[in-house]
Structure 1
Amino acid sequence: MVNKIVVITGANSGIGKAAAIRFANEGFTVVMACRNVERSKMVQQEIMEATKNPHIDLLQLDISSFQSIHQFSAALKDRYPKLDILIHNAAYLNHGESNYLLSQDGVELSFATNTLGPFLLTRQLVSMLEKSDDARILHACTTNIRHFFDPKRKIEFDNFQGEFKNERPFKAYKFYGDTKMALLMLTFKMAEELKQKGISVNAVQIPAIKLSKETINKFKSGWRVAARVQNVFSAPRETMADTYFHICTSEEFKNVTGKLLNDKRKIMEPSHYSAGITQDIKQLMDQTVYPKYAHNKENIQKVWDMCESLTK
């Protein structure tokens, strides 16, 4: 993998850090795209020492900020002639948050971080990805989207800039699910747009994974206890890092694009189950299907148009 370059957002902790180590061990040049550079320097040094790979770069990136995305993209283009893999791993979910928080661009922070930022960053880096002989983009999705099996569940398209902050209560977990469903929808549309450029775009559904101390400490006190309990039953981060690596480098997925994969590296399909309690239970238990809502063409176009409009 000499001369292969991978960008991983949120590479200073959790799955992102584990993925950075995995790619570094294979000889990749790893670009850690992190919001807090000072804190990330220690992690950068740790990865270099652990993997004996000196090609671990660190660039500042706040994925919720348009200005930061533009600055990161310019810096990356100055340092490297191409990009082989782009992994959108960074995400925002503040358990217990009850207030609407907006990015510096006036966008609800979950949407800015989980959907809009990845859209803009990919747009900025297409010219670099085109120069790779095997360019791949991976979106980190979540099992949270399975709530959309409920036919009443809808994305709040009209509230992504906090338009109804005085009328609708803020529910962090719902906004997280909405923005990750929007990211999955972008995956399908983006795969179509970039296929002719030789760039594949896929998403991976992440199950319960052990959270890092850094992530848990960001939670409000009551949620920290729940997170620590969940950690006891969750899979290690390294298993997901291995999955990232396999999807982004293996021959098996070289010509696969526009797909959602589960943590077992199996391609998932839109649900085929009909209505009814028995069918609903089977659908929820079946880890090979995802909500048909994700393929609603009108909503896919709505997400795409909103991202284009807000990032102009």
Structure 2
Amino acid sequence: MRAEDKVILITGGNAGIGKATAAALAMQGSTLVLASRNAAKGEVVSRAIRSISGNDRVQFMPLDLASFESITRFAENFKSRFQRLDVLLNNAGLVASGKRTETKDGLETTIGVNHFGTFLLTGLLLDRLKAAGSSRIVTVSSRVHARGKLILDDLQLKEQFSAMKAYAQSKLANILFTYELARRLNGEGVTVNCLHPGMVRSSFYDRPSGLKAKLAFGMIKPFLIPVEKGAETSIFLAASPEVEGITGKYFVKCMETPSSPLSYDQELAQSLWEISEQMTGFTYPVR
């Protein structure tokens, strides 16, 4: 299919690697939907990308992944406008600033946004992905997933919260979800892959809190890569013919790479899937 005939949705497309990814894909001529919580910024970025790319099929739609109500409303709105979805790029994510907070639905914010929000959005749009005939789901994870552990009876980290622990388990959840969804969608024309973008010089690292965090940031800052470099693997998985038909894989620097041993635990993935359906109240149309 020609790039200009595709419909692509990018969450968190108004900043950082999401914005760089959106700009590159817009240059290819696809219909592009940027979804994020900040409506004012989203509209500004959409206009800028339309101007730079010459592609007038770039638009913004509001989406708050910390709210199941917002996700459901977004999906209904999207499906009223589009009959197909060729690429869903789950790019949006966050790391806690230090203090434990909760989403509107009472979930620890990091896993609530990074995993449960992504899980629900993907499920609600699955019919449009299937309708495309040959579509792709791409989720931005992190190599930090290797430090993650899932304590299934305390995914909300009410007992022992730390920002890094929350982030690492949410990124592990991204990969477990990717592999499990790929298994369940086998043969249905939808591929599912995930990636580590690299340590990117973006707003993600803008506000380290606490002395240890500031010292750590000072050490890693010289090694951070530009957002355009960090976006390369997302662009590759979203658009390259080289990965046509490849599913259930983890990529780093546009190369298929093994993820952590724990990420291949199918029993853990199935348990997380069941919990995710319970927490979101959404049952996937694949078993």
TM-score calculated relative to the size of structure 1: 0.84
1:2-25 alpha-carbon deviations (Å, 9 max, x no partner): 121110000000000000001001
Q: CA deviation at 1:206?
A: 2.4
Instruction: Give 2:119's aligned residue.
Output: 119
Q: CA deviation at 1:234?
A: 1.5
1:74-115 alpha-carbon deviations (Å, 9 max, x no partner): 1111111210000111111024x1x32111111111111111
* SS, match of residue 32 in structure 2: strand
- Give the AA of the match of 1:233: F
Instruction: Give 1:306's aligned residue.
Output: 275
- Give the AA of the match of 1:130: K
Instruction: Give 2:69's aligned residue.
Output: 67
Instruction: Give 1:145's aligned residue.
Output: 145
Query: For 1:152-171, what aligned pairs fall within 5 Å after superposition?
Result: 154-164=149-159, 168=160, 170-171=161-162
1:204-239 alpha-carbon deviations (Å, 9 max, x no partner): 122211113xx4445437546754663432121112
Structure 1 residues 129 and 233: CA distance shift in structure 2, 3 A = same
* SS, match of residue 8 in structure 1: strand
In structure 2, distance between residues paired with 1:109 and 1:310: 13
In structure 2, distance between residues paired with 1:305 and 1:7: 26
In structure 1, distance between residues paired with 2:46 and 2:67: 23
Instruction: Give 1:257's aligned residue.
Output: 247
- Give the AA of the match of 1:235: I
Contact 1:217/1:224, CA 8 A, preserved across alignment: no
Contact 2:12/2:36, CA 8 A, preserved across alignment: yes
* 1:195 partnered with 2:186: yes
Instruction: Give 1:220's aligned residue.
Output: 209
In structure 2, distance between residues paired with 1:260 and 1:64: 25
Query: For 1:1-312, what aligned pairs fall within 5 Å after superposition?
Result: 1-95=3-97, 97=98, 99-147=99-147, 154-164=149-159, 168=160, 170-212=161-203, 215-220=204-209, 223=213, 227=217, 230-263=220-253, 265-269=254-258, 290-312=259-281
In structure 2, distance between residues paired with 1:44 and 1:208: 25
* SS, match of residue 197 in structure 1: coil
In structure 2, distance between residues paired with 1:252 and 1:300: 27
Instruction: Give 1:272's aligned residue.
Output: none
In structure 2, distance between residues paired with 1:22 and 1:94: 29
1:239-278 alpha-carbon deviations (Å, 9 max, x no partner): 2323212212222110100111112x22123xxxxxxxxx
Count of aligned positions: 278
In structure 2, distance between residues paired with 1:43 and 1:218: 22
Root mean square deviation, CA, Å? 1.8
Instruction: Give 2:284's aligned residue.
Output: none
Contact 2:110/2:167, CA 8 A, preserved across alignment: yes
* SS, match of residue 7 in structure 1: strand
1:167-191 alpha-carbon deviations (Å, 9 max, x no partner): x2x2101110011101100111000
Contact 1:211/1:227, CA 8 A, preserved across alignment: no
- Stretches (4+) displaced over 6 A: none
In structure 2, distance between residues paired with 1:219 and 1:12: 21
In structure 1, distance between residues paired with 2:92 and 2:40: 17
In structure 2, distance between residues paired with 1:267 and 1:304: 24
Contact 2:6/2:86, CA 8 A, preserved across alignment: yes
1:103-129 alpha-carbon deviations (Å, 9 max, x no partner): 111111111111111111111001111
